[in-house]
């Protein structure tokens, strides 16, 4: 089998510049590891290395790899290929919580290329490895920018029996994890989000845009508001706006009038808390809450954190912003047991409403809750797009639906099965090759 350059292999007929070995070793260590083989050309032709040169070459390759910081684990040896000697350097991946540099630059193996990471690409790399975490990063705020009454209220809610001593404010902030003493007193971004007098001036992307639209489309605006205060105040203001712009029904039970909200308040609160706790604060986009006649959409900057997918959503608790998460947990707003999503589903079901819909849309994550079970003939925009497709095509598969609507496979299958339940579509086949066709008799009536 002919060797080919790729994600885990770099071939060199000979070494012109040993810096290229350093770059490749750095790139492999930051990715999935790999091998550098000297004595084989890019097309896989074995050229070989003079046997008298193999020892010196191994030493010089070791010296080149030693220029990477920290030096990755490696193994260098000579082996025989087609009766010729080649020199191999095996580079092992570095721990995912760290990274390597060469000459102060981060390189990453992407396909057969050693890519220099910089700008947003470098930031994304650091965030994915949990090396760069927004809420734990130092802000530009000073202690004077914080509102001590907000710190006092936090302590009161978290530990009612604990007396707040203003003279010990620095120790309190350090104890909460939002302050750091390093010569000057430094305030972390989480401290700004929870305790700043004016968070908007320091972290403008903290705002929430709230809009009530007329009807089911984002065209005519009935009411709107923008809030950008502390996280707990944002939650309070956003919930008040949703309550104001959704309906309340009443029923009499045991001679007492009970309010029945259009959407379970526990679900609204959970969606709001998830939005402010798990959003990507490196993004300059903001949280958007859109209210329509038939649904509420919670749009959150950032896709799911690394290690979490739509398929396992609600089974694992992975925090993008661990310090914000811990402070929210201290206030009893999150539990840290991955129970939030299951509780949302259960509350909607108990209210006789459809389960929430979770979607990744480009650089946003969206949660949608509906205020009634769809009736026959009622479809969401994705399903309408599929019906338009079926007017011109004899059938549709879940893969085609996924590509057509830009949703995950589970959502595609759920949408198509929903249309089967409404007798509009009919599924043909039970295996992976299954497809869906219009249920002609039902559709024509």
pLDDT tops 50 at residue 262: yes
pLDDT tops 80 at residue 8: yes
> Does 106 share its domain with 151?
no
Predicted structure pTM score: 0.72
Confidence at residue 423, expressed as pLDDT on a 0 to 100 scale: 74
User: How many Å apart are CA 54 and CA 410, to the nearest integer?
Assistant: 54
> Does 191 share its domain with 224?
no
Could you report the per-residue pLDDT of 227-258, keeping only the tens digit for each? 999 999 999 999 999 999 998 766 665 556 66
Boundary (domain end) residue, out of 198, 219, 235: 198
Nearest to residue 28, comparing CAs of 7, 11, 12, 14? 7
> Does 40 share its domain with 126?
yes
Q: What is the CA radius of gyration of the chain?
A: 28
Confidence at residue 440, expressed as pLDDT on a 0 to 100 scale: 57
User: How many Å apart are CA 254 and CA 251, to the nearest integer?
Assistant: 10
- Listed in sequence order, the residues at least 6 apart from 106 whose beta carbon sits closer than 8 Å to its beta carbon are 26, 30, 99, 100, 116, 117, 122, 125
Could you report the per-residue pLDDT of 356-415, keeping only the tens digit for each? 999 988 889 999 999 876 565 678 888 888 988 988 888 999 999 999 988 888 888 888
CATH number at residue 417: 1.10.10.10
Could you report the per-residue pLDDT of 154-192, keeping only the tens digit for each? 999 999 998 888 899 999 999 999 999 888 899 999 999
Confidence at residue 251, expressed as pLDDT on a 0 to 100 scale: 61
Q: Which residues of 77-90 are buried (b: 16+ CB within 10 A; e: fewer)?
A: ebeeeeeebbbbbb
Dihedral angle of Cα 273, 276, 277, 282, to the nearest 10 degrees: 170
Confidence at residue 445, expressed as pLDDT on a 0 to 100 scale: 31
Is 4 inside any structural domain?
no
> Does 189 share its domain with 230?
no
> Does 32 share its domain with 102?
yes
More confident residue, 255 or 7: 7
Taking CA atoms, 140 is separated from 66, 73, 131, in Å, by 37, 38, 20
More confident residue, 147 or 124: 147
Confidence at residue 337, expressed as pLDDT on a 0 to 100 scale: 66
Nearest to residue 136, comparing CAs of 364, 337, 288, 319? 319
Taking CA atoms, 354 is separated from 263, 264, 368, in Å, by 11, 12, 10
Range of the domain at 212: 206-370
Confidence at residue 157, expressed as pLDDT on a 0 to 100 scale: 93
| Residue 326: burial class (beta carbons within 10 Å; 0-12, 13-18, 19+) | middle
> Does 217 share its domain with 361?
yes
Is 270 inside any structural domain?
yes
Q: Do β-strands 113-117 and 106-110 pair in parallel, antiparallel, or remain unpaired?
A: antiparallel
Could you report the per-residue pLDDT of 10-49, keeping only the tens digit for each? 999 999 999 999 999 999 999 999 999 999 998 899 999 9
User: How many Å apart are CA 214 and CA 232, to the nearest integer?
Assistant: 28
């Amino acid at each position: 089998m002919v060797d080919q350059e790729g994600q885990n292999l770099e071939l060199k007929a000979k070494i012109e510049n040993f810096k290229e070995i350093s770059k490749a070793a750095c790139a492999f260590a930051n990715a999935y590891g790999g091998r550098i083989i000297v004595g084989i050309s890019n097309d896989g032709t074995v050229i070989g290395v003079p046997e008298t040169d193999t020892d010196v070459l191994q030493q010089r390759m070791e010296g080149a790899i030693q220029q990477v910081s920290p030096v990755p684990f490696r193994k260098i040896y000579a082996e025989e290929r087609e009766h010729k000697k080649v020199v191999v350097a095996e580079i092992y991946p570095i721990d995912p919580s760290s990274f390597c540099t060469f000459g102060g630059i981060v390189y990453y193996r992407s396909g057969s290329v050693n890519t220099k990471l910089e700008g947003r690409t470098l930031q994304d790399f650091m965030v994915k490895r949990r090396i760069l975490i927004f809420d734990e990063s130092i802000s530009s705020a000073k202690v004077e920018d914080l509102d001590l009454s907000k710190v006092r209220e936090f302590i009161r809610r978290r530990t009612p029996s604990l007396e707040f001593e203003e003279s010990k404010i620095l120790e309190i902030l350090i104890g909460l994890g939002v302050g750091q003493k390093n010569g000057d007193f430094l305030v972390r971004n989480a401290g700004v989000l929870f305790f700043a007098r004016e968070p908007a001036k320091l972290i403008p992307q903290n705002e929430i845009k709230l809009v009530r639209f007329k009807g089911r489309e984002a065209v005519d605006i009935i009411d709107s508001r923008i809030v950008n205060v502390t996280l707990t105040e944002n939650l309070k203001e956003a919930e008040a706006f949703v309550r104001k712009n959704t309906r309340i029904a009443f029923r009499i039970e045991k001679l007492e009038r009970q309010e029945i909200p259009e959407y379970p308040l526990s679900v609204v609160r959970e969606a709001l808390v998830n939005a402010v706790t798990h959003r990507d604060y490196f993004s300059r986009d903001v949280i958007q809450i859109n209210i329509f006649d038939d649904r509420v959409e919670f749009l959150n900057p950032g896709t799911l954190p690394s290690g979490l997918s739509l398929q396992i959503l609600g089974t694992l608790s992975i925090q993008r912003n661990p310090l914000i998460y811990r402070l929210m947990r201290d206030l009893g707003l999150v539990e840290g047991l991955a129970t939030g999503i299951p509780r949302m589903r259960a509350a909607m079901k108990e209210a006789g409403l459809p389960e929430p819909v979770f979607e990744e849309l480009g650089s946003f994550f969206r949660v949608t809750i509906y205020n009634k079970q769809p009736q026959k003939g009622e479809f969401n925009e994705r399903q309408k797009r599929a019906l338009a497709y079926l007017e011109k095509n004899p059938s549709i598969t879940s893969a085609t639906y996924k590509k057509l609507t830009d949703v995950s496979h589970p959502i595609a299958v759920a949408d198509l099965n929903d249309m089967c339940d409404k007798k509009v579509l009919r599924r043909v086949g039970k295996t992976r090759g299954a497809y869906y066709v219009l249920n002609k008799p039902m559709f024509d009536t």
